[in-house]
A and B are shown apart, each in its own frame.
Chain A
Amino acid sequence: MEEKKSIGSRIGAFFRWIGRDLADIGITFARGDWKTRISFLVVGLGQILRGQYVRGISVLCLAAAMLFYIFGFGLSYLKDILTLGTQGRGFNPDGTISLGDNSFLILLYGILTIIVILALVLVWRINLRQNREAQELLAQGKALPSNRKDLYSVLDRNFDKTLLALPVLGIFVFTVLPIIFMICVAFTNYDYNHQAPAKLFTWVGLENFRNIFSIGGEGYGGTFFTVLAWTLIWAFFATFLNYFLGMAVAIMINKKGIRFKKLWRTILVMTIAVPQFVSLLYIGKMFASDGLVNAYLLKWGLIQKAIPFWTNPTYARILIIVINLWIGIPYMMLIATGLLMNIPEDLYESARIDGANSFQMFFKITLPYMLFVTGPFLLTQFIGNLNNFNVIFLLNQGRPQSMNLKGGAGYTDLLVTWLYKMTINDTDYKMAAVIGIMVFIVTAVISLVVYNFLPSVKDEEGFQ
């Protein structure tokens, strides 16, 4: 299998590929005619001279735009990327006001410039390949593809590029670039005290990572591990409780002899239909100290004092897991209903003849089948719950907070809600970035490990 290659051999393969490519460029130049050679200098000129206007002009325009960005704009930022600016906003020695550098822009545009330079190399390389192809075709006495055909190819042979151009560009600008930027921020001291443009921020190496792992004193370590542990506990319960109870509800609704199946299902599905910010905000308020639940318990004399649902860490944690059932069971019920119907009826029939009761049938037939089929689904659910922002935040915003926890974290905060609070309340961007990277690591490790253990991945034909 391809994935099983060791990292060493991959790196080796990468360098061999680079070597081959360089050699290929050399050969292209050595054997090239003057039209090919001139394209080494002016991208697209060779194609235009051969009459391939569509190709030539498109690569020429691309390369021109990139060069314009790099020299007109990007390089002035890129040159400061190692320091992220030296002069803050203030007065020059001669008394004039200086706008100074802006670390944020230097970092962002610096990264963009590096990427554009790499893209320019790629365009240049594509341009060489086009020249070589054209030259070889002509040498064999064949005709070059016409401009019309080139244009038409975006609907046919090159349709993938047409379809993917916009989505890839959008993801690059609004996902890839920001993620690279934030990964870099994790290695700087960008926070409340270093807000560009008034104050500069700069590289601090692994300082922030040391902070997040250092327990005691000013370190964030204790808080980080508390939040991480709760995140994992939460994801575990939220996933598996919903899974089994949702399946149980589905089995009950589908039980033979139970009527109004559609009604039960519709009632449950309401929770998926109503926007969560309405339902969860309302439920959160229901359990507040002055909320309905406490009010009625007091009125009926069941309790003397309001139960601190949201201010006691343990109560809050349990309550959140319970309320999440309200969200999660209907979803699982829908999925389980479809899957339960797929289990061949004769399996149950023969089990019944052998004298199995319904519990045995559940544990020997239904459960193994469901676990097998929904393995990947459970994994994505688990990952989704690790990052389940809405439930936590809408119910009680990660509270209760505590002096024992740093960085404004509360006892029901997940890593993502903590990250959010750091960005919004504390504007501690550097630590928010570190936490983001931690979330990524946790997600990636769990995904990789679990994925390799899933029976349905190992053995696709298993349950047939």
Chain B
Amino acid sequence: MTRKKHISNAIVYIVLIVISVIWLFPFVGLALQSFRSYISEFGGMVNYLIPKKFTLDSYKFLFSGECQFPRWYMNTLIIAVAATVFNTIIIICVSYALSRLRFKGRRALMNIWLVLGMFPGFLTMICLYFLLKMLGLTQSGAVPGLILISVAGAGMQYYVCKGYFDTLPKALDEAARIDGANRAQILLIMIVPLSKPIIIYTALLAFMAPWCDFVFASYVAFGYSASYNVAVALQQWVWTNDFQGYFTRFCAGGILVAIPVTILFMCLQKYYVEGVTGGSVKG
């Protein structure tokens, strides 16, 4: 019996180690290739993994003034922080209203939003572009424009947060109302502090999304490189033929983007897990 157990555990360990290697390989590769010099070796695709000499040339390039990497980084950070603050506030407001308040049209509103969510987001791209252009929020104004779009759509992402509010006992609200609190006070003084995990989860998701937004961002900032975010700028280095020798520089930029986001995520992992498991069960 114990022998059998040992063998099965050994198999599991082997599988887990293989999985870990596969899962980590892209990150190791990314990091290794970012240290290959595009000056003394070659910046494009090569047929070996470990650079012949480790240099920081690719990183130096990013901050050399030859490209606007710091600017792109700041743009993304601004969008991410603004989206985090405003999206979270909006999602809390909507979730509270839909979870705790009963008003005419509540069901209808939820159903309409559900149906709207079934349309693909990219469908409305030209129309959104036009609306932003009318407000002067394209090209040079792309950063506030992207924030506006993100915040405007935030209300429809209430599901997980509302699900959490639904689990808070209603008796709390009633007790507070007897004590003379109005509904705004209940939200601010009671519900928000009780919902810390889900608020952190919501904020984390809102913060992570802009780092990956290259589709709409490239459309809105079209041709105006000072308004790019990192995703838009770096994907060009991989895809466009004009940037053939830029692969190592993409790797370096990718590392600089990945490190802070990853650290933040790992610190808040607990809340993320709570959010996804809670959200998945309720559906």
Binding site for B on A (CB under 8 A): 104, 108, 152, 155-157, 159-164, 166-168, 170-171, 173-179, 181-182, 249, 252-253, 255, 257-258, 264, 266-279, 281-286, 288, 290-292, 295-296, 298-299, 326, 330-331, 334-335, 337-339, 373-377, 379-380, 383, 387, 389-390, 393-394, 397, 415-416, 419-420, 423-424, 429, 432-433, 436, 439-440, 443-444, 447, 456
Residue in B closest to A253 when the chains form the complex, CB atoms: B16
The answer to whether A292 touches B29, judged by C-beta atoms less than 8 angstroms apart, is: yes
The answer to whether B269 touches A269, judged by C-beta atoms less than 8 angstroms apart, is: yes
* Alpha-carbon distance between A33 and B101 when the two chains are bound, in angstroms: 35
The answer to whether A447 touches B118, judged by C-beta atoms less than 8 angstroms apart, is: yes
From A174, A179, A277, give the contact of B235 (CB < 8 A). Answer: A277
Contacts of A275 in B (CB 8 A): 208, 211-212, 231, 257-258, 261
Query: Which of B54-62, B145-153, B195-203 binds A?
Result: B145-153
The answer to whether B122 touches A389, judged by C-beta atoms less than 8 angstroms apart, is: yes
Can you name 19 extra interface pairs (CB under 8 A) apart from A171-B153, A282-B254, A415-B120? A155-B182, A161-B103, A163-B93, A178-B123, A182-B124, A182-B127, A249-B19, A253-B16, A266-B266, A268-B20, A269-B265, A272-B272, A273-B262, A274-B258, A286-B26, A338-B277, A373-B281, A420-B122, A440-B119
* Alpha-carbon distance between A156 and B173 when the two chains are bound, in angstroms: 13
Contacts of B254 in A (CB 8 A): 278, 281-282
Contacts of B128 in A (CB 8 A): 174, 178
Binding site for A on B (CB under 8 A): 5, 9, 12-13, 15-16, 19-20, 22-24, 26-27, 29-30, 45-49, 90, 93-94, 96-97, 101, 103, 106, 109, 113, 115-116, 118-128, 130-131, 148-149, 151-156, 182-185, 187, 208, 211-212, 214-215, 219, 231, 234-235, 238-239, 247, 250-251, 254-255, 257-258, 261-262, 265-266, 269, 272-273, 276-277, 280-283
Contacts of A393 in B (CB 8 A): 215
* Alpha-carbon distance between A436 and B185 when the two chains are bound, in angstroms: 43
* Alpha-carbon distance between A331 and B250 when the two chains are bound, in angstroms: 26
Given A271-B23, A436-B119, A439-B120, decide whether A167 and B90 contact each other with a Cβ distance below 8 A. yes
Chain A nearest CB from B48 CB (Å) reads: 7
Given A167-B90, A179-B124, decide whether A334 and B131 contact each other with a Cβ distance below 8 A. no
Contacts of B27 in A (CB 8 A): 270, 274, 279
Residue in B closest to A377 when the chains form the complex, CB atoms: B280
Contacts of A440 in B (CB 8 A): 118-120
The answer to whether B262 touches A285, judged by C-beta atoms less than 8 angstroms apart, is: no
* Alpha-carbon distance between A382 and B93 when the two chains are bound, in angstroms: 29
From B115, B155, B283, give the contact of A380 (CB < 8 A). Answer: B283
Given A423-B125, A436-B120, A443-B118, decide whether A270 and B262 contact each other with a Cβ distance below 8 A. yes
A-B contact pairs, 5 of them (CB 8 A): A159-B182, A167-B94, A178-B124, A178-B131, A330-B23
The answer to whether A282 touches B26, judged by C-beta atoms less than 8 angstroms apart, is: yes
The answer to whether B183 touches A159, judged by C-beta atoms less than 8 angstroms apart, is: yes
The answer to whether A174 touches B258, judged by C-beta atoms less than 8 angstroms apart, is: no
Chain B nearest CB from A314 CB (Å) reads: 22
* Alpha-carbon distance between A394 and B238 when the two chains are bound, in angstroms: 10
